[in-house]
Structure 1
């Protein structure tokens, strides 16, 4: 099977292998990420898809493109799943979950759903007592709180941008140095 690349304009609509449950937890449906998954590295095996699901189609050119840019990593289905596994192992999955929840939110069609989704995202990731609170400065949190009065499709853009930058500057370089990335690169097909 060829590369699994997602174009920028259809990124959110191509999260077909991903879903959000009723508590906005990111669920890797297509790759069956589960605690019983038998992944590449023992330290990540509980977070990775079953090896036959990902490794049968992962190509060397894919893993090399992940190294070129953070966007390439996120826009590739297997790259996104591997990065999520890495973040889970570091106990910081809330960052990618928030980012993807925002992408999903932007594609919401009706205003009634927009309001309810905005409230869920705010309560899950931004509120000061949020169970999966992302690391945002006080000013950004204040802006997000104000945006909740009249949610729009772009009301989370500022916070999402800050979390994207945090992942790009902090988590992504560590991912590229991780055993997980090294093993996936080594086992990818030419």
Structure 2
């Protein structure tokens, strides 16, 4: 086999891997959108297909804008999963839900679940926090309040905002969304 044939095989394998990865993120995004859309009106389920380039560009204004849009949130989650850092968003979202809890019994059980899942060393979705923050949270769990994860949530939000968020706009995923939206506008 000559070198030209080896390069052809390598190129075709690379194209096949890209095609599979492309299909995978689309399927994952579709799945996430279906799950997040279950409680929304049926008209909004079809809305993703009609995202405009202007709406996509709004995501670039701030991480807050991206996360406030259900489709932006789902797309960002797929991107974080591709970077093996989806636990950051999952933790941040868990904290957002935690702050809405009104029952003190549920507050305590949810605080312990969040700690076990994201904070405790060797936990399944351990987030990157310094020892001082972890110790502070462990102390707060004795009598949990709505703000017991506030410091950690702020740190994780900042981490996403300064690291993952800028990379999201350089990703092929975001570029593909823009191409799809631009194609629909023409």
Correspondence 1:44 to 2:25: yes
- Name which of structure 1's ranges 53-62 and 131-140 shifts more when overlaid on structure 2: 53-62
* Separation of aligned partners in 1, 2:147 and 2:54: 34
- Which of 85, 93, 98 is equivalent to 2:86? 93
Asked if structure 1 preserves the Cα contact closer than 8 Å seen for 2:98 and 2:146, the reply is yes
Q: Which runs of 5+ in 2 are unaligned?
A: 1-19, 34-44
Q: CA deviation at 1:47?
A: 2.2
Q: Distance in 2 between matches of 1:53 and 1:88?
A: 24
Kindly indicate whether residue 151 of structure 2 is the aligned counterpart of residue 158 of structure 1.
yes
Answering whether residue 147 of structure 2 is matched by residue 149 of structure 1, we say no
Deviations along 1:46-91, one digit per CA (max 9) or x if unpaired, are 4211698564231212110111111111111100000000011111
Counterpart check, 1:65 vs 2:58:
yes
Higher Rg = 2
| Contact kept? 2:118, 2:126, Cα under 8 Å | yes
Q: How many residues align?
A: 152
Distance 2:52 2:21 in 1: 15
Structure 2: distance between partners of 1:62 and 1:45: 19
Normalised to the residue count of structure 1, the TM-score between the two structures is: 0.74
Which 4+ runs in 1 deviate beyond 6 A?
none
Q: Which residue of 1 aligns with 2:165?
A: 172
Find out whether 1:183 has 2:172 as its counterpart. Answer: no
C-alpha displacement of 1:42: 3.0
Tell me, in whole angstroms, the C-alpha distance in 2 between the residues paired with 1:105 and 1:57. 33
Q: Which runs of 5+ in 1 are unaligned?
A: 1-38
Most deviating of 113-122 and 68-77: 68-77
User: RMSD over aligned Cα, in angstroms?
Assistant: 2.1
Rounded Cα–Cα distance in structure 2 between residues aligned with 1:119 and 1:183: 40
1:16-55 matched pairs, under 5 angstroms: 41-42=22-23, 44-49=25-30, 53=46, 55=48
Tell me the distance in 2 between the aligned counterparts of 1:171 and 1:76.
17
* Larger fraction in helix: 2
